[in-house]
A and B are shown apart, each in its own frame.
Chain A
Amino acid sequence: MSRGNRPLSPHLQVYRPQLTSVLSILFRIMGVATSVGSIVLIWWLAAAASGVEYFELVQSFLGSWFGRLLLFGWTFALVFHLCNGIRHLYWDAGKGLELETAYASGKAVIVFSVIITLGLWALAYVMGGA
């Protein structure tokens, strides 16, 4: 089979970034980030199962400024991947693929990801009292 003159995938660096392509790349990056962040979730559960002392150690790390920064990043990655994932499921049904609709849903994903992430953290601060 000749592999010589086949068309190649577009090389990212020769394209001007568009909203659609940037969201597509971010979707994958945020998915991988969510996977890495799930290690913290499992660690947190294992800490709770192992006893009060270790649980409080993990809680104090997660409550430090660095822990909160990690958790905030993880929340945004997860929420963004969820919102854009719903957009992808809609596309998989064969709907919303027109250029205008794809741009509108892309903007909606950004708005919803930011609102939901900030809303969750506002809720957490109200419950936890700083």
Chain B
Amino acid sequence: MSLRTPLGRARGLGSAKDGSSHWWAQRLTSLALVPLVLWFVFSVALMTGADHVQFLEWVQSPVVAGLLILLISVGLLHSQQGMQVVIEDYVHGEASKVLSLFLSLSIHVVLGLTGILSILMILFRG
């Protein structure tokens, strides 16, 4: 069963002009985040009370560093996808919408780079 209209199917795109690809990408990041977030919150709870040296040692394990980089990139991608939908729903007016989308994207990119570069610094420099 298809929920799309014949014309919509023929054009391949809906009102958002990109078909269902954004919706689908959001489901993929959510699925990946289920195990990543569970791992992260339990690890951090277990790390409570750790000092700087113990924290660095934890991040320096290649498995932990890899999972943290995955969590940050997939998590911020999911966050960006979600904020995009929220902005598209509530910010009206073309100029303010485009500006909000651009700001949100920029903040996510800066946060992602800062997080990943911090992990790489800890991993390679200690």
Q: How many A-B residue pairs have CB under 8 A?
A: 83
Q: Taking CB as reference atom, which chain A residue is nearest B125?
A: A49
Q: Taking CB as reference atom, which chain A residue is nearest B24?
A: A92
Contact B75 A38 (CB under 8 A): yes
A7 at interface by CB-CB < 8 Å: no
Q: Which residues of A contact B72 (CB under 8 A)?
A: 42
* Minimum CB–CB distance for B92 against chain A, Å: 13
Out of A32, A85, A128, name the residue touching B48 (CB < 8 Å).
Answer: A128
Contact B27 A46 (CB under 8 A): no
CB within 8 Å of B: which of A72-89?
Answer: 75, 78-79, 82, 85-86, 88-89
Q: Which label, helix, strand, loop or mixed, suits the secondary structure of the A interface?
A: helix
Contact A52 B52 (CB under 8 A): yes
A85 to B115, CA, bound (A): 24
Chain B's interface size range is 35 or more
B49 at interface by CB-CB < 8 Å: yes
Residues of B in contact with A (beta carbons under 8 Å apart): 27, 30-31, 33-34, 37-38, 41-42, 44-49, 52, 55-56, 59, 68, 72, 75-76, 79, 82-83, 86, 111, 114-115, 117-119, 121-122
Residues of A in contact with B (beta carbons under 8 Å apart): 28, 31-32, 34-35, 38-39, 41-42, 45-46, 48-49, 52, 55-56, 75, 78-79, 82, 85-86, 88-89, 92, 120-121, 123-125, 127-129
